[in-house]
Amino acid sequence: MSVLEISNIRKNFGKTEVLKGISFTLEKGEVLSIIGSSGSGKTTLLRCLNFLEFAEKGTISVNGSVIFDGDSTKKMTDSEIRSNRLHFGLVFQSFNLFPQYSVLKNVMLAPTLLKRGTPEEIEANAKALIDRVGLSDKLDSYPCELSGGQQQRVAIARALALNPDILCFDEPTSALDPALTGEVLKVIKGLKSSDRTMIVVTHEMEFAKIVSDKVIFMANGVIEEQGTPEEVFDNPKSDITRAFLSTSFEKF
């Protein structure tokens, strides 16, 4: 059984069709990279999965049960939306840490509000996650005291704290300068394990090549090509993919 199965997702913004029928499946423990030029619909797809946007058509199933059906006439209640969101975690391009809370509090806030265990358990788990992203010495720092790379690592720990089925990254390094990109990618790579499923929207082709089990190349709201990194990067079938990859790997 696939951990995630999405089928024929369609989304419009006004008259613009942003997603024109996206379907794919993801197995537990797989890392999926979604690549493609700006405006191809990658971020919108992630936002539909996290219910920050709502697709007009299509279905989303997690662990075999349908959690979203665009054809359903019944409107999801706030609490249904909330519980559906918890299948997914999302790390934003712009981090979006809560500025008034320390690193530890940022990671602890949601589990505390959602009553995911005793305060002691929540704190111990948060500290373990912060240690995992290499920021144990910054527990009491505030976001404004951290570099962009450090902030993004805290954001990753914060998303992990709710133990989502699928962790999504929306261009996690696009707001970082090259020197800080590496530390974040290293952390994401280190999260890869047999029971953690991840979707990474990225412009870092080398990273996508190394870390993914599966790559989707999107163009103009459709999946132009999908397959293993070897298939997509080394033997692309579509002309559009080839053109995109050649400009992406072109250095100057």
Is 196 near another protein (CB under 8 A)? Answer: no
Segment lying near another protein (by CB under 8 A), choices 7-15, 95-103, 203-211, 218-226: 95-103
- Amino acid identity, residue 237? K
Segment lying near another protein (by CB under 8 A), choices 26-34, 110-118, 185-193, 219-227: 110-118
Among 26, 45, 90, 160, binds another protein (CB under 8 A): 90
Left, alpha or beta for 41 (phi > 0: left; psi -120 to 50: alpha)?
left
Closest C-alpha among 34, 33, 50, 54 to residue 92: 50
Tell me the three state secondary structure of residue 203.
coil
Among 23, 63, 72, 100, binds another protein (CB under 8 A): 100
Is 113 near another protein (CB under 8 A)? Answer: yes
d(CA 126, CA 109) in angstroms, rounded, equals: 10
Closer Cβ to another protein, 50 or 241, answer by number: 50
Is 193 near another protein (CB under 8 A)? Answer: no
Size of interface with another protein, in residues (CB under 8 A): 28
- Binding mask 150-169 toward another protein (x if CB under 8 A, else -) reads --------xx--x-------
The nearest distance, CB 110 to another protein, in angstroms, is: 4
Report which DSSP code applies to 2.
Answer: -
Report which DSSP code applies to 29.
Answer: T
Phi, psi of 133 (to 5 degrees): -90, 10
Q: How deeply is 247 buried, as exposed, middle or buried, from its count of CB atoms within 10 A (0-12, 13-18, 19+)?
A: exposed
Report which DSSP code applies to 196.
Answer: B
Interface with another protein (CB under 8 A): 50-52, 78, 82-83, 85-86, 88-90, 92, 94, 96-100, 109-110, 113-114, 142-144, 158-159, 162
